[in-house]
Amino acid sequence: MHIPIKRSKDNQILGGVVAGLCEKYDWNPAIGRILFVALSLTPMFPGIIVYLLLLLLMEKPDED
């Protein structure tokens, strides 16, 4: 099962998950990363687990 959002190939730090989400919704990747880290520091948002799940579920970037 994959979600129809591709990870970023050009703008990635670890796996390109947050940058891929930002590219899909036309957001600034730096702000998206800051928001993801801020949410991950709260006790109600398991950031590492969500990131790993998205890494597995998102499509790989196109190889050109």
Tens-digit pLDDT string for the chain (64 aa): 778 888 888 888 888 999 999 999 999 999 999 999 998 888 888 888 889 999 999 988 876 5
The reply to whether 2 falls in a domain is no
Write out the residue range of the structural domain in which residue 18 sits: 11-59
What does the pLDDT read at residue 11? Answer: 85
The reply to whether 6 falls in a domain is no
- The model carries a pTM of 0.81
Based on the structure, what is the number of domains in the chain?
1
Instruction: Give how far Cα 3 sits from Cα of 9, 24, 56, Å.
Output: 16, 12, 10
The reply to whether 34 falls in a domain is yes
What does the pLDDT read at residue 33? Answer: 93
Tokens 């998206």 -> residue? 32
The reply to whether 4 falls in a domain is no
The reply to whether 37 falls in a domain is yes
For 17, half-sphere exposure in the C-beta direction (CA atoms, 13 angstrom radius) is 17
